[in-house]
Amino acid sequence: MMFEKMATLLNFRSKKLLVSMMALSIVVILMGYQYIQNSPSIINLDTYHKLLTNGVIEKAKISQNEVILYTTEGVYSIAKDGIMIKDLLKKVPIEVEDNNEYANTLITALMLAFVLLWLVIYAKKRQMREQIESEQKKETKMFSLDSLGSFEMNPAISKIKFTDVAGIKEVKEELEEIVDFLKSPSKYQKYGISLPKGVLLIGPPGVGKTLIAKAVAGEANVPFFYQSGASFVQIYVGMGAKRVRELFSHAKAYAPSIIFIDEIDAVGKARGGMRNDERESTLNQLLTEMDGFEDNSGVIVIGATNKIEVIDEALLRSGRFDRRVFIPLPDLADRKDILQIYLQDKPSRVNLDEIAKMSVGFSGAALSTFVNEAAINALRRKSQIIEQEDFRAVRLKVLLGKTKVLSYSDEEKRIQSVYQGAKALCAYWFEVDFDKITIVNDRLKDMDKEIESKTQMLSKVKVYLAGIVATQIKYNEKFSNATEDLKRATSIVQNMVENYGMGDKVLPNNHDVEKILDEAFAEVEKFLLGMGSTLDSISNILFEKESVSREDLKKILNEIF
């Protein structure tokens, strides 16, 4: 029926259709002529340097393998590989051209023809006019949803250097290799070494993961793309995956460059369980993009999270996030360095050692709040300088207010020193790998092995039980600081019994978990009773310095034995 009406209308409206189609043809021809007229002239490197030096370049656009330069004298193009993009970025704004721009223009013209055709044919038909309005509403809705998927992806040039980030000496050393990769890729290409595709920064909130990523970009002097993991999670189907594609497309155009995804666990959670198809499609796109990196493409992805346990295993496998860097809460020396940076531009007369000692468990962000609150307190007192009393006055406010952080009294600090000291001693003695154990946390290195023995797993269990045993021996008391370690030890033993057949019998037994934990507890107790003076030495170091390394333990044990 609809086609019969169309045929009838075509007979009556043929003249109007002819005029309309002729007008449309003229528009298309003019658009094609304008495109030909605006085609850029190809220039060599010398001409490019002259244009750049004379400052006549107004803007630039990256189009596939060439860079288009818009100047006061005309439009020119030069091969992208022949110039340094970061040098051009410092002087003029750069856009990344959509490779389908002209195809989109043609599609737009065809859509315009379609709309004109319908307007002419159904101009006087009420029913058809309503249908057109309905189609236009749908198109408007689609346009609105599509616009929600677009977001700012302009790169930044970071001015932050490693010297601006206090503490975390070991972290800096681990990331300096990445910086050197980005600075001098040819040095590594010579030996066939590929740039790591991803680095995962793991640590509690406020330790400076974003600042560290900016420092890497600043040291390497490369463009820096920042996105939050939550910005990829959309309620509209396909928008998250689209954003991931756009982000990686832009980063490759500016290579060498860094993509930093903060709170990556928002998009990288393990798949399965409570399904979220949109989040899973976004994660799949992220995995595909990281797999699609060519060797030495010059783009590196830095992710940050404080929930590595929820990250999908596919994202953590080799070839994606090749490196994992653990960032602990700052120890005494680190806090002193951080406080010095925060106070350097503020008039103050304080004892940094005392302030560092009273801020046990503060992250870098909490220390910033601590200094700021002290400055506000000095202003409230109408003082010209910040003094020790200002820090004492606001300490409880930082601890108990909105920015509450973990902290210890001297008595609690002594208990925690014994607790963590026992774990450090057992980790060294039972050969469980670690870099450093602090008074507030530990980071035992996970063994990257497909096959792990019962002895190796029991060694970890003993380390997690060591603190409970030590405080019970020392104080004849049990404390609430054992919660997390007890969960970890129990989880390992449950896996041993239920999944690996490491109980008394191959099939799981309800009593095996309890038996293994009791036996491990007894072995640790026997060991620590014979290491009383050694444990005291390690605990004293932790109380004074708030951290102990494997090298420190080696020196202590060499002196004793």
Do 165 and 212 meet the contact criterion of CB atoms below 8 Å apart?
A: yes
Band (493; pLDDT cuts 50, 70, 90): very high
Confidence label for 415 from pLDDT (cuts 50, 70 and 90):
very high
Could you tell me the two tokens for 275?
């399904």
Between 459 and 145, the more confident residue is 459
- How much is the average pLDDT of 356-363? 84
Q: Is the pLDDT of residue 173 over 60?
A: yes
What angle in degrees, to the nearest 10, is found between the helix axes of 2-37 and 101-121? 140
| Residue 71 banded pLDDT, cuts 50, 70, 90 | confident
The predicted pLDDT at position 525 comes to 95
pLDDT score recorded for residue 475 = 93
Residue 405 clears pLDDT 50, i.e. is over it: no
Identify which of 344, 347, 350 has the alpha carbon closest to the alpha carbon of residue 391.
Answer: 350
- Angstrom distances, CA of residue 123 to CA of 24, 118, 129, 138, 140: 18, 8, 7, 20, 21
pLDDT > 70? residue 174: yes
CATH number assigned to the domain with residue range 410-560, chosen from the 4 options 3.40.1160.10, 3.30.565.10, 3.30.70.260, 1.20.58.760: 1.20.58.760
Q: Identify the top-confidence range among 101-115, 142-156, 225-239, 303-317.
A: 303-317
- Give, in words, the CATH class of 2-148: alpha beta
217-243: per-residue pLDDT in tens? 888 888 888 888 777 765 455 677 788
Average pLDDT, the chain: 78
pLDDT at 260 over 60: yes
Residue type at 493 in one-letter notation: V
- pLDDT reading at 427 higher than 60: yes
Percent of the chain as helix, strand, coil, to the nearest 5: 60, 10, 30
CB 60 within 8 A of CB 88: yes
The one-character DSSP state at 518 is H
| Domain parsing of the chain, residue ranges | 2-148, 156-326, 339-400, 410-560
Q: Say which CATH topology domain 156-326 has.
A: Rossmann fold (3.40.50)
Q: What value does the mean pLDDT take over residues 537-544?
A: 90
Claim: this prediction has a pTM higher than 0.85: no
Range name among 78-87, 191-200, 240-249, 284-293 with the lowest pLDDT average? 78-87
For residues 433-453, average pLDDT:
72
Range 339-400 classified under CATH 1.10.8.60: yes
Residue 1's pLDDT band, with cuts at 50, 70 and 90, is: very low
pLDDT of residue 421: 93
Contacts 24+ apart (CB under 8 A), 172-181: 174/323, 174/325, 175/199, 175/212, 175/215, 175/216, 175/325, 176/219, 178/216, 178/220, 178/300, 178/323, 179/216, 179/219, 179/220, 181/300
Residue 221 region by backbone torsions, left for phi larger than 0, else alpha for psi between -120 and 50, else beta: left
Please say if the pLDDT value at position 56 is more than 90: no
Least confident stretch, 247-256, 317-326, 413-422: 317-326
Do domains 2-148 and 410-560 share one topology? The answer is: no
Q: Are 186 and 308 in contact (CB under 8 A)?
A: no
Residue 319: pLDDT above 90? Answer: no
Is the pLDDT assigned to residue 38 strictly greater than 80? no
What is residue 328's predicted lDDT score, i.e. its pLDDT?
Answer: 83
Q: Considering the chain, what percentage of its residues have pLDDT values greater than 90?
A: 15
pLDDT at 381 over 80: yes
207 pLDDT above the threshold of 80: yes
Of residues 541 and 2, the one with the higher pLDDT is 541
Percent with pLDDT over 70 in the chain: 74
How far apart (Å, rounded) are the C-alpha atoms in residues 66 and 116?
37
Q: What is the pLDDT of residue 2?
A: 44
**Span of 149-153, 251-255, 276-280, 446-450 with lowest mean pLDDT:** 149-153
Which amino acid is it at 541?
I
Residue 57 confidence (pLDDT): 81
